Amino acid sequence: MSLRKQGKTGYHKERWTLEQVKIGLENFKKEFGHYPTSLEIDSYKYLPSSRSIQRSFGGLLNTRREIGLTGDLLDFRSGEHSSNRAYKIGKRSIQTENEIYQYLKNMFGIEFVHREFMFNDDGRTRTDFFVYCKNDNFSVDVFYPANIRNLIGCLNSKMRTYRNKEMLQYPVIFLQMNEGILKEQINLVLARKKNKLSENQQVMTVEEFKIFCKNKIPLSVSG
C-alpha cells in the first residue's frame, strides 16, 4: 500500500485526497483495533496531521462523516468510546498512584508518607504524596501522559497548580509514569518551554525517581 506522508516525514507536499485519508484511517484500525483520535493521528506516519485535516476537509468529525462513519465512531468525545477512554484513564491513574504509594511506604515507612496531602485549608493546594525524611521533605505528583503532546499539556497545568509558595518550599517531583516517553524527549520539551520550571520543580522518570529516593534519609518512628 502506498500512502503519502505530508508534513510528518517531509517526503513531499502533494495535497491529500479524502480517499487517501480513508485508507490511512482504515490501516490504523487494522493495526490498533480502533480508529485514531486526533492525538493518535498526529503521531501516525500514514496520515496527515489533524491540522491538515482541519484545513483540507473541515475537521476530523466532518472527515469521519464523509467516509461513512456513524454513531460512536463519528464523535469520540461522546458515547461508548468516550466512556471507555475515561474508564481506562481513571483505572490507569489509580494503578500508577498505588504503585508509587507502595514504593514510598517501603522506602520511608507508612507514618511518613501522606497521601492527598493538603498544604492548607483552601482545598486546592494539595499534592498526591508528601514525604517526610531527614534531608529535606518533598512532594510527588504522579501522572501518566499518553504521549509527548499530552505531557506538555499536563505539565503546564501542574505548573499552574504548584505555584503557591507553600507548595514550593519543598522539592516538587512531577513523576511521569509512561515508560515509552524517553528522558531525552522530556529534556527537549523542558528546553523549549518558555515558561520554565521553578528551582524546586523537577520532571522525573520512574528510574530517576528511585535514584532520588535512595539519596534521601528515612526518619525513624522514634524520631
CATH code assigned at 140: 3.40.1350
Residue 54 to residue 44: CA distance in whole angstroms: 16
**Residues 62 and 139 both lie in one domain:** no
Neighbours of 114 (CB within 10 A): 17
**Residues 38 and 112 both lie in one domain:** no
**Residues 135 and 39 both lie in one domain:** no
Q: Which residue has the higher pLDDT, 1 or 91?
A: 91
Domain carrying residue 27:
18-77
Residue 110 to residue 219: CA distance in whole angstroms: 11
Question: How many domains does one find in the chain?
Answer: 2
What's the CA angle centered on 47, arms 45 and 48, to 5 degrees?
Answer: 105
Mean pLDDT value across residues 118-138: 86
Q: Which residue has the cell 483495533?
A: 33
Q: Which residues contact 68 (CB under 8 A, 6 or more apart)?
A: none
pLDDT score recorded for residue 119: 85
Domain boundary (48, 77, 106) is at 77
pLDDT higher than 80, residue 8: no
Beta bridge partners of 117: 127
Report if residue 3 sits inside a domain. Answer: no
pLDDT score recorded for residue 197: 94
Report if residue 164 sits inside a domain. Answer: yes
Q: Give the full edge-to-edge strand order of the sheet including 172-176.
A: 113-118, 126-131, 138-143, 172-176, 201-204
**Residues 46 and 104 both lie in one domain:** no
Report if residue 52 sits inside a domain. Answer: yes
**Residues 106 and 59 both lie in one domain:** no
Mean pLDDT value across residues 85-93: 53
**Residues 102 and 66 both lie in one domain:** no
pLDDT digits (tens, 9 = 90+) for 175-217: 999 888 899 999 999 999 988 999 999 999 999 999 999 999 9
Report if residue 208 sits inside a domain. Answer: yes
Q: Which residue has the higher pLDDT, 64 or 140?
A: 140
**Residues 50 and 104 both lie in one domain:** no
